[in-house]
Structure 1
């Protein structure tokens, strides 16, 4: 996985976790849901890059 894409995926997951925690703390269901979505996007990006890495290996 390229370093840049790996960093983006991890940052997106961290952003989602933070957003979810803040949403729960203030009782904002919408923000909590957005946090879940951000985490899923980060996980999907990471899975895509892992797949690309696996296809490149002989």
Structure 2
């Protein structure tokens, strides 16, 4: 099984809503991040980082 890159959504995309967490192949995850739809998953104890990035949109 291939490794998955975990992302946290900051905008709605397909069946995903903001704050959803999901794993994708590296190419898809990087496209979501580059498109500012998601950010790379970070430890929930650092959730302020995700909120700060959402506020920048």
Higher RCO (CA 8 Å, separation ≥ 6 residues) = 1
Q: Provide the TM-score with structure 2 as the length reference.
A: 0.25
Quick check: which one's strand share is greater? 2
Give the TM-score normalised by the residue count of structure 1: 0.25
